[in-house]
Amino acid sequence: MSRVYNFSAGPAVLPEEVLKEAADEMLDYRGTGMSVMEMSHRSKAFEEIITTAEQDLRDLMGIPDNYKVLFLQGGASQQFAMIPMNLMKNRAADYIITGQWAKKAAKEAEKYGKVNRVASSEDKTFSYIPDCSDLPISEDADYVYICENNTIYGTKFKELPNTKGKTLVADVSSCFLSEPVDVTKYGVIYGGVQKNIGPAGVVIVIIREDLITEDVLPGTPTMLTYKTHADANSLYNTPPAYGIYICGKVFKWIKAMGGLEAMKERNEKKAKVLYDFLDQSKLFKGTVVKEDRSLMNVPFVTGDADLDAKFVKEAKEAGLENLKGHRTVGGMRASIYNAMPYEGVVALVDFMKKFEEENL
Ligand SMILES: *Cc1c(COP(=O)(O)O)cnc(C)c1O
């Protein structure tokens, strides 16, 4: 068996310890004589899995009691609709457009009400985060929406926008659990887990209780109403049980690593190796302004599409996989999520140095 360094943006690398544990428990989960995939979601064993997972996530993020944690399906993309369906009481919301995912979310929300795009960084191919300290927040906005870490462009909000008292909703798919977070600053924090937490198929929604109501837009399906899932502790219907089980193991792994403070330190150390190299390289260039660089997704280019393709191909041959940039931007992107070891980033930088010497 040989494992590669996997720089995929998602689904992405998972901690090896977690995969090994899951393998050990595959045929007989703790004396139940069956795998977690085969057991009832109403069983005692699964109840413990989901309750423990929720508690560990609450401990890690310091989630206050007046927030619910929901384990849902449909990916982050389903939240693009679920958020307006549940939150747009005035049928108005403000969106900050920092990339494709925020753009898609805004477009979807337009099906349900008035969407004000109060800031955007599209003028410079989303290579920065706009100044959000004094935005023209709409009087009647039900919420202000951001994509906190832009997976495709490699930017991250280092400071949350001033929402002037409006509820903040954040898509944290690609920075979930990468650093400590003050949950009280948000109304809704959500993300698909396949970037930084677990396998595809689970989306976690952390939502303040006062935002969970029966007063949703007319025609909202039962399954797309937050209250349905909040009232049933994410067991209204069959949840993505195996995915939740793996997420639970990743929460334990992060706890054992020292929690989110330790994750942040580790992620900063990893990102620094790569950014420091990019800053002095004569061949490779980072594409994001320094202040807004993501710790998780690092896009870079050589400026020559053929050379980029050569790099991606040779990197793969060297065991460094999935370094091709998003199809809409080209170039390269290294996603260095929580589970990417420091050694993986060092191996990438060593390879980049060698490639630079050979191709400059
Ligand atoms: C990947 C991603 C999405 C889309 O996630 P799906 O689970 O595929 O719907 C949305 N937002 C961000 C920030 C992402 O990185």
Is the confidence at residue 210, as pLDDT, over 80?
yes
Q: Which residues face 191 on adjacent strands? A: 204
pLDDT tier at 44, thresholds 50, 70, 90: very high
Q: Does the CB atom of residue 337 touch ligand 1 within 6 A?
A: no
Mean pLDDT for 319-323 is 98
Can you tell me which residue has the tokens 């490699």?
Answer: 154
Residue that finishes a domain, picked among 256, 284, 306: 256
Mean pLDDT for 45-59 is 98
Can you tell me which residue has the tokens 């008292």?
Answer: 165
Q: Does the CB atom of residue 154 touch ligand 1 within 6 A?
A: no
Domain-located, residue 59 = yes
In this structure, are 193 and 224 located in the same domain?
yes
Task: Please list, in sequence order, all residues whose beta carbon lies within 8 angstroms of the beta carbon of residue 285, skipping any fewer than 6 positions away.
Answer: 278, 300, 301, 302, 303
Atom 8 in ligand 1: residue holding the nearest Cα: 75
Question: Distance between CA atoms of 305 and 198, rounded to whole angstroms?
Answer: 33
Question: What is the per-residue pLDDT across 243-284, written as a single tens digit (0 to 9) for each?
Answer: 999 999 999 999 999 999 999 999 999 999 999 999 999 999
In this structure, are 266 and 241 located in the same domain?
no
In this structure, are 273 and 134 located in the same domain?
no
In this structure, are 91 and 191 located in the same domain?
yes
pLDDT recorded at residue 331:
96
In this structure, are 221 and 303 located in the same domain?
no
Q: Does the CB atom of residue 173 touch ligand 1 within 6 A?
A: yes
Question: What is the per-residue pLDDT across 91-102, written as a single tens digit (0 to 9) for each?
Answer: 999 999 999 999
In this structure, are 264 and 145 located in the same domain?
no
Mean pLDDT for 311-322 is 98
> pTM for the full model?
0.98
- 79 Cα nearest atom in ligand 1: 9
Atom 7 in ligand 1: residue holding the nearest Cα: 75
| CA 76 to centroid of ligand 1, rounded, Å | 5
3-state DSSP helix/strand/coil percent for the chain, to nearest 5?
40, 15, 45
Ligand 1 pocket test target in 149, 173, 174, 178 with most atoms within 8 Å of CB: 173
- 200 Cα nearest atom in ligand 1: 7
pLDDT recorded at residue 327:
81
Residue that finishes a domain, picked among 256, 271, 301: 256
In this structure, are 298 and 248 located in the same domain?
no
Domain-located, residue 8 = no
Domain-located, residue 3 = no
- How many domains does the structure of the chain reveal? 2
pLDDT recorded at residue 1:
72
- 192 Cα nearest atom in ligand 1: 7
Catalytic residue among 68, 156, 166, 195: 195
Mean pLDDT for 162-182 is 98
Question: What is the per-residue pLDDT across 63-88, written as a single tens digit (0 to 9) for each?
Answer: 999 999 999 999 999 999 999 999 99
Q: Which residue range(s) make up the domain with 81?
A: 17-256
Q: Does the CB atom of residue 176 touch ligand 1 within 6 A?
A: no
Question: Distance between CA atoms of 354 and 352, rounded to whole angstroms?
Answer: 5
In this structure, are 190 and 282 located in the same domain?
no
Is the confidence at residue 2, as pLDDT, over 90?
no
Domain-located, residue 9 = no
Identify the CA nearest to 305 among candidates 294, 313, 297: 313
Mean pLDDT for 306-315 is 97
Ligand 1 pocket test target in 150, 151, 153, 329 with most atoms within 8 Å of CB: 151
Contact 204, 195 (CB under 8 A): no
pLDDT tier at 340, thresholds 50, 70, 90: very high
pLDDT recorded at residue 359:
97
Catalytic residue among 56, 94, 142, 171: 171
Q: Does the CB atom of residue 101 touch ligand 1 within 6 A?
A: yes
The CATH number that applies at residue 67 is 3.40.640.10
In this structure, are 248 and 265 located in the same domain?
no
The CATH number that applies at residue 295 is 3.90.1150.10
Q: Does the CB atom of residue 198 touch ligand 1 within 6 A?
A: no
The residue length of the chain stands at 360
Question: Distance between CA atoms of 279 and 260, rounded to whole angstroms?
Answer: 27
| CA 33 to centroid of ligand 1, rounded, Å | 35
Domain-located, residue 196 = yes
Query: How high is the mean pLDDT of the chain?
Result: 97
Is the confidence at residue 148, as pLDDT, over 90?
yes
Ligand 1 pocket test target in 126, 174, 205 with most atoms within 8 Å of CB: 174
In this structure, are 162 and 214 located in the same domain?
yes
In this structure, are 189 and 273 located in the same domain?
no
| CA 209 to centroid of ligand 1, rounded, Å | 24
Can you tell me which residue has the tokens 């992620």?
Answer: 267
Mean pLDDT for 336-360 is 97
Question: What is the per-residue pLDDT across 8-20, written as a single tens digit (0 to 9) for each?
Answer: 999 999 999 999 9
Q: Does the CB atom of residue 192 touch ligand 1 within 6 A?
A: yes
Ligand 1 pocket test target in 8, 77, 190 with most atoms within 8 Å of CB: 77
In this structure, are 207 and 338 located in the same domain?
no
Domain-located, residue 50 = yes
Q: Does the CB atom of residue 94 touch ligand 1 within 6 A?
A: no
Active site residue 185: no
Domain-located, residue 5 = no
Question: What is the per-residue pLDDT across 115-134, written as a single tens digit (0 to 9) for each?
Answer: 999 999 999 999 999 999 99
Is the confidence at residue 300, as pLDDT, over 90?
yes
pLDDT recorded at residue 197:
98
Residue that finishes a domain, picked among 188, 221, 256: 256
